[in-house]
Chains A and B, each alone.
Chain A
Amino acid sequence: MTPPIKPGDWPFVGNTWAVRQLQQAVTRDELSHALLITGPDSVGKRALARILTAALLCQAPVEQRPCGTCLSCRKLESGNQPDFMLVEPEQKGKALVVKQIRDLERFLKLTPIESVCKIALVNDFEQANESAANALLKTLEEPPSHVRLILLALDADLVLPTIVSRSQQVNLRPTTPQKIAEALVARWDVEPETAQRLARLSGGRMGWAVRAATDPAHLETQTSALQLLFDLIRQDLPTRFEAAETLAKDSAQFAETLEYWRIAWRDVLLLQTEADDAVTYQEHRETLASLAQRQPLPATLALLKTLASAQAALRRYVNARLLAESLMLELPGLNFR
C-alpha cells in the first residue's frame, strides 16, 4: 500500500499509521497547514507534536529528520527556537483566551527567522473559550504559506466543528500493551516483568507507562486507590464516611482514584461476562472474582455508571465531600448491606 518507511525512525511508540503518515507528509513537504491531534490523556499527543515540530524545523537532510544534533533541534530542546511558539492555558484547568490567540496570530504573520517555516503548537485546545476558538478560524483556514499550526485536544467533539473541518485530524488511540512493554524494555531499561505489568496497567497510554516507570510515586496513587477500594468494601458506613472526608480533600487525586476504581469495576464486569483476558488488574484477580460472584451483573453496570457520573460531577466542581459520601452509600459491601 505505502512505500516502506521504517517506523521507529521517529521515537514514538504505537499508532504507527499516524507516525507513518506524518513522516511521509514531512518528507514530501505535503503536510497540511493545520493539524489537529486528538486522543485520551497521556496517549502521546504532545510527544508526537514535539517530534513533528523538530522534524519540520530540522536542518539535516530530509530523511534524517529530526536529527537531534543540528542547531535548530538543540534550540528547540532548550526552548530557544525562535520559529516555534507554544500556546497553552496559563494555568492547568483554565481556559485558553482570545489574547493568547491574537499573540499567536501576530507571531505567525512574521516571516521565519531561522527556518523554512513557523510552527505554533496549541496545547489543550478543548479548553479554548468560544471567542478564542473563533478568533483562530480565519488563520486556520488560510494562513500565510510558511505557517504550520498544530492543535492538541482530548476529543474532536470538544472542539468547534468549524475548527475540526479546517484541519487534518490525527486521532491517536491507545496502543497495545505488548508494544508498550517492548518499548519500556528497549528504551527505558525496565525489567521485562515490570514492563509487562506497567503496560497492562497503562491502558495503552505510553505517557502514563513512562511516568510510572520513571517515577515510583506515580504508581503509588494507583496502588493506594485500589487498596482503599478493597478496604472500603469490608467496612461499615461510619468508617467509609471517614474515608470520604480524606478523599474529598484533594479533588485532583479524588478524580484519579475514581478512574482507578472504574477500571477495577470494569474488571469485575469483564469477569462476570467471562472476558477474562482483558482484565487490567490481574494481580488482584481473586478479590475481583469474589466481587464478581457476590454481585449481580446489573448492579455492576449501575455502579460503573455512578462512577462515571461522579467523575463528571467532580469536573463541574460539585461539593467533593458530599459526592464522596454519596459514593460511599453506593459501594457494595461484603458483609454489609
Chain B
Amino acid sequence: MAQALYRKWRPQTFEDVIGQDHIVRTLRQALRTGRMHHAYLLVGPRGTGKTTTARLIAKAINCLADAEQRPCGACEMCRAVSEGRLMDLVEIDAASHTGVDNIRDLLEKVTFRPTQAQFKVYVIDEVHMLSTSAFNALLKTLEEPPEHVVFIMATTEVHKVPDTILSRCQRFEYRRIPLAMLVEQMQKITTTEGIPTEPAALDLIARAATGSMRDAISLLDQMASAGGEVTADYVRLMLGAERREVVRGLLEAWVEGDLNGGMEIINRAVDGGADPRQLARQTANFMRGLLLIRLGAGETWTDPTDAERPFFIELAKKTQPHRLVEAVRLFSAVAADNRRAGWQPQLPLELAFVEATLEPEPPPQPVMAAPAPVPAPTAKAVPTATATTPARPVRSVKPRPQRAASAAPAPRPAADSRSASPAAPAARAATLDAALVQRIQNHWREAIKHVQPVSLGALLRDAEAAGVDHDGKLVLAFQHTFHCERVAQDANQRTVEGELSRLFKQPLTVRCMLAKDWKALAAPTPAPAASPTSTTPPPPEPPPDEEDELIQRAQEELGAVPRTG
C-alpha cells in the first residue's frame, strides 16, 4: 500500500524545509553554538512545516555527527527518529489527550533520564486543545525542566494557548509558503517520482493550496493517482475551476450589462461541472484586477498573461471604480459564503451577478422619507426582512448632506442634564423636527428593545420621548427619579444616544428629566413648530397616525381595531 506523498516527502534535513528560512537559520545557529532552548512553540497555518521541524529538532540535538552537520540523517539517532523508533522521542497528540491526567502521566516520566539519546524530546502536537488545567499542570515543568528534556509544542491556533505558556517558550512563527516555492517543490517531486505533468497544472494546484505544502502535495498525489499525465484540464475538472475564457466572458457580460448572457454562462459552466464558488472567486479576482488597472496600478496585478492584458485594459475603461468595488464585494461574498448552498448551488452566484449588473438605483431618497426604519415586529425574526427595499441598500444608506446638517447639535457634551438652564423651550429647537419626535414616540416601545444591556432597556420603559429642548436635544421624560438618574449616567446616556441614532438614522443627543419637570418647562411657551406634542402630557398611547404604516396596514389587511383610551 503506497504511502501518501506528503509523508514520503517530509523533509529529513533542515535544507529541505521550504519557505521558513527565518526559523531554520535561527535553529541552526542555536545548534552550532549549543544554545538550544528547553521549550519551543511552533505556530503557523496548516502544512507549513511545524511537525516536520519538531522532528528535525529531535534529531539534531541528539545527532552524533559534528555540530555543523546536524542532523546528519545517517547516524543511529537520526535513523531512529526517521523510523519512528527512538524511545526518547515522545510524540503526544494533545487533541486526543486533552486532560490533566495525560499531562500528569507525562510529567511523572519527565524526570527519568533518556535511555538511548542525550536528550528526551517531548513533541506536543495540536497543543491548543489541552484543557486549562492540563496547561497549568505543565507550567512548572515547562519553566525549569530537567536538563535532559526539551519540549516542542506545535499548534495552528496560538490564541488558545495561555500567556503563561507562551512566555515560557521560544516561539517560531511559520509563514505561508509562496506560490513559486510550492511549484518548485512539486516540480522536484514529479521529476523524482516520474509523474508526467503540465507546468500549468502545477500552477493551478499551487494556487489552490493557498500556501500550504501539505495541501499542494496532497492535491498532486490525488491528481497523479488517476494515472497518466496530470494536465491543467484535469486539475480544473477536479477543482471545479473554470477556464479563464469563461471567466472573462462573465466579466464581459457584466460590463456590457448583458443579464441574459451572464446567466447563460453561469449555467453552462455549472452544468459542465464548475464549482459556483470557485467561479465566483475567479470572477472576483479578475474584477480586482480591473479595479487595479482602473486605479492606475495595473502593473501590480501579475495574474494575466501578456496576451490577455489588452483585453482587461479595454474592459477596465468601460467600468466605474465604485461599481467594481461593489461587484468585487458581491462576488467575494459568494466565494466566502460557506452556508449550505441549498439544492441549486449556483443560485448565490446568479444573485450576485444580477445584483452587480443591475443599473444603480436612481439617486437615493432622503432617509427621512423612507418608511420607518424602526424594526417592524417581524424584523427580529428575520434579520434581513427589510430587504424589500430592494436592490442596493448599501448605496442609499449614506445621506451625507443630511448628516452634516443634523450633526450640528451634537458636539456639546451633556452637562448635568437635570439642572440645566430651565429656560423655556424656544423656537431654536427646530433642529430635531416634529415629525421625527413623533416617529420616535410611535416606535419607542420597539426601539428600546434594541437597547443593550437589557437592564438599560428596562429603565427606559419608564420614559417617553417627550419632545425637544432648546438645545435641540431629545427629551426623555421619566416618571420616577430613580430611572431618570440611572439613565442620565454618562455611559448609559451614551449607549442610549448611540442606539437611537442608529435606529432613526440621525445623530441624536438626549436629555433625561422627570416628566413633571418637563411639563412645567414646556407649558409656559408651547413652541409651535418645534414640538407640538410637548404641550400635552406625554401621551400614553400615540394616536394611530397616518404616518404609521404598520398600524394602517394592520387595520386594512388584518381588520385590526386600534385600542383607544
Contact = CB atoms under 8 A, between A and B. Distances in A.
A329 B341 CA distance: 24
Given A1-B234, A32-B4, A165-B218, A329 B378 contact: yes
Given A138-B125, A313-B382, A165 B344 contact: no
B87 to A, nearest CB: 18
A237 B557 contact: yes
A32 B222 contact: yes
B446 interface: no
A24 interface: yes
A285 B376 CA distance: 34
B88 interface: no
A327 B343 contact: no
B238 A318 contact: no
B345 interface: yes
A131 interface: yes
A278 B263 contact: yes
B209 to A, nearest CB: 9
Given A29-B1, A311-B342, A20 B384 contact: no
B152 to A, nearest CB: 15
A224 interface: no
A298 interface: yes
A194 interface: no
Contacts, number: 224
A3 B378 contact: no
B408 to A, nearest CB: 35
A33 B385 CA distance: 46
A288 to B, nearest CB: 15
Contacts of A20: 226
A264 to B, nearest CB: 11
B7 interface: yes
B405 interface: no
Given A238-B558, A266-B347, A275 B382 contact: no
A162 interface: yes
A60 B212 CA distance: 39
Interface of A: 1-3, 15, 17, 20-21, 24-25, 28-33, 40-42, 101-102, 105, 117, 131, 134-139, 141-142, 145-146, 154-155, 157-158, 161-162, 164-169, 171, 173-174, 176, 203, 205, 208, 236-238, 241, 259, 262-263, 266, 269-270, 273-275, 277-278, 280, 296-299, 301-306, 308-313, 315, 318-319, 322-323, 325-327, 329-330
Interface of B: 1-4, 7, 45-47, 51, 93, 95-96, 98, 125-126, 129, 156, 212, 214-215, 218-219, 221-222, 225-229, 231, 233-234, 237-238, 240, 259-260, 262-264, 267, 270-271, 273-275, 338-345, 347-348, 350-351, 354-355, 358, 361, 378-385, 387-391, 557-559
Given A162-B126, A168-B221, 18 more contacts: A1-B231, A2-B234, A21-B226, A25-B226, A135-B129, A138-B95, A155-B340, A162-B46, A171-B275, A238-B558, A262-B344, A262-B347, A266-B350, A274-B259, A274-B260, A298-B358, A302-B387, A329-B378
26 contacts: A24-B226, A29-B2, A32-B218, A117-B1, A131-B129, A134-B126, A134-B129, A137-B95, A162-B126, A165-B47, A259-B342, A273-B260, A274-B260, A275-B263, A275-B267, A278-B264, A278-B267, A298-B361, A298-B391, A304-B347, A306-B382, A308-B342, A309-B382, A322-B380, A326-B378, A329-B385
